[in-house]
């Protein structure tokens, strides 16, 4: 039986869903000869670990109770009645992750899984990489920190998996890595990488006002609690930065041209969210509808997309026009699509399309990444 010890950082929607997947897939993994030994689970304030990280694990009952407690807004300290485990708080939690990585990194091996949405994990991840550990990321922020941090994290390419940072469960990173490793230079990437903005733009295309679509998307749970987190385009910019860096561009987030769908005077630091939803977003309707109409008159549709070009080091995100019969033009709903042009995929580019958002899909991608590491253990 192949055993993969792991620590999970982040108990939000993706992290909780990952724990559910791990528990529900036990019979499948047993048939495959793999066991995921969860020895620690942490959030932004604390870390729960098995009493003996060399031989013990947090059993499935504890993992499911962790999900229940965190879903209800509780604390990991509420796990006091479940099994032999230890609790570490704040800076002690960070130190304990490093201690475990030091102990297991060069012996049994360890996978550090980051499903948080924090930029604070980058320093821990850089240290565990040096200690011989593997890292699996759904969190985009470590890979979109400084170029020095990025280069450090990918020092050992076989020990990092980050498929879910760009396309949730879609094989975006794996496909690009295979193409580049074969010596086939990728010269152009176009993608719609936000399920939220994909849904919004396809609904606006039907003639619905942007303000109405945004409110519906929020009610359906498609947007962040503040929809401006999606409308700003920064999430797409982070995904584009990861892709551009994979192609060899030594750039930072500040180097990317990002088109926000709202002006600065409607930003979160200026306008309260209720004022934006009740009035601010209404002021955006006419401009967006005019752009949609103009695009349609040319036989095109409007999509929020990233464009990356190797030859010119171009990397930008924003509203773009695409022919209605193109991969991005045909896109409907919240699907993601990535179109890759290379020497081999030139006249007929590689098109990767499917569900690119959601806790379930993202967590499934993370789980696949963890299992993909098994030959290193």
Domain layout of the chain by residue ranges: 2-169+360-376, 186-355
In this prediction, residue 325 carries a pLDDT of: 92
Token representation of residue 59:
């059993």
Smallest Cα–Cα separation from 192: which of 205, 179, 208?
205
Task: Report the C-alpha gap between 49 and 189 in whole angstroms.
Answer: 42
In this prediction, residue 81 carries a pLDDT of: 61
Smallest Cα–Cα separation from 262: which of 334, 357, 197, 356?
197
In this prediction, residue 80 carries a pLDDT of: 65
In this prediction, residue 268 carries a pLDDT of: 92
Q: Is 36 exposed, middle or buried (0-12, 13-18, 19+ CB in 10 A)?
A: buried
Smallest Cα–Cα separation from 304: which of 318, 292, 286, 323?
318
Smallest Cα–Cα separation from 142: which of 167, 110, 172, 165?
165
Q: Write out the binding residues for L-homoserine.
A: 224
In this prediction, residue 356 carries a pLDDT of: 75
Q: What DSSP designation does 9 have?
A: E
Q: Low-confidence residues of the chain, pLDDT below 70?
A: 80-84
Q: Write out the binding residues.
A: 10-15, 140, 224
Q: What is the pLDDT of residues 196-233, one digit of tens each?
A: 999 999 899 999 999 999 999 888 878 888 999 999 99
8 A C-beta contact, residue 243 and residue 148:
no
In this prediction, residue 91 carries a pLDDT of: 87
Architecture of the domain made up of 2-169+360-376? 3-Layer(aba) Sandwich (3.40)
Active site residues: 239
Q: How many angstroms separate the Cα of 258 from the Cα of each of 239, 262, 304?
A: 12, 12, 11
The pTM assigned to this predicted structure is: 0.93
In this prediction, residue 342 carries a pLDDT of: 96
CATH of 186-355, one of 3.30.360.10, 1.10.630.10, 3.40.50.300, 3.50.50.60: 3.30.360.10
Task: Report the C-alpha gap between 127 and 283 in whole angstroms.
Answer: 48
In this prediction, residue 126 carries a pLDDT of: 96
Q: What is the pLDDT of residues 58-110, one digit of tens each?
A: 999 999 999 999 999 888 888 766 566 788 988 899 999 999 999 999 889 99
Q: Write out the binding residues for NADPH.
A: 140
């Amino acid at each position: 039986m192949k055993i993969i010890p792991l620590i999970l950082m982040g108990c939000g929607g993706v992290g909780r869903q990952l724990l559910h997947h791990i528990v529900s897939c036990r019979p499948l993994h047993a048939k495959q000869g793999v066991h995921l030994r969860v020895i620690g689970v942490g959030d932004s304030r604390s870390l729960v670990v098995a009493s003996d990280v060399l031989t013990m694990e947090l059993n499935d009952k504890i993992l499911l109770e962790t999900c229940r407690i965190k879903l209800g807004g509780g604390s990991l300290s509420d796990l006091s009645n479940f099994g032999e485990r230890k609790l570490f708080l704040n800076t002690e939690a960070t130190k304990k992750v490093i201690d475990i990585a030091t102990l297991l990194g060069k012996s049994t091996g360890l996978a550090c899984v980051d499903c948080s949405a924090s930029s604070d994990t980058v320093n821990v991840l850089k240290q565990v990489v040096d200690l011989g550990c593997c890292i699996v990321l759904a969190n985009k922020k470590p890979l979109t920190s400084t170029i020095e941090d990025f280069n450090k994290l990918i020092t050992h390419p076989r020990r990092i998996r980050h498929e879910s940072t760009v396309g949730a469960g879609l094989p975006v990173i794996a496909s690009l890595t295979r193409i580049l490793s074969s010596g086939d230079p990728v010269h152009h990437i176009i993608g719609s990488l936000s399920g939220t903005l994909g849904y919004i733009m396809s609904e606006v295309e039907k003639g619905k006002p942007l303000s109405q679509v945004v409110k519906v998307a929020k009610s359906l749970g498609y947007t962040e609690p503040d929809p401006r987190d999606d409308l700003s385009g920064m999430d797409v910019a982070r995904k584009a930065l990861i892709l551009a860096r994979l192609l060899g561009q030594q750039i930072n987030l500040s180097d990317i041209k990002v088109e926000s769908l709202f002006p600065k005077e409607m930003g979160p630091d200026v306008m309260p969210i209720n004022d934006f939803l009740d009035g601010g977003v209404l002021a955006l309707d006419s401009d967006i509808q005019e752009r949609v109409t103009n695009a349609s008159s040319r036989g095109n549709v409007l999509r929020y997309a990233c464009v990356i070009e190797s030859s010119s080091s171009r990397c930008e995100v924003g509203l773009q026009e695409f022919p209605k019969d193109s991969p991005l033009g045909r896109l409907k709903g919240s699907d993601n699509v990535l179109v890759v042009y290379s020497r081999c995929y030139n006249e007929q580019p590689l098109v990767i399309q499917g569900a690119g958002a959601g806790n379930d899909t993202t967590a499934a991608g993370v789980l696949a990444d963890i299992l993909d590491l098994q030959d290193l253990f």
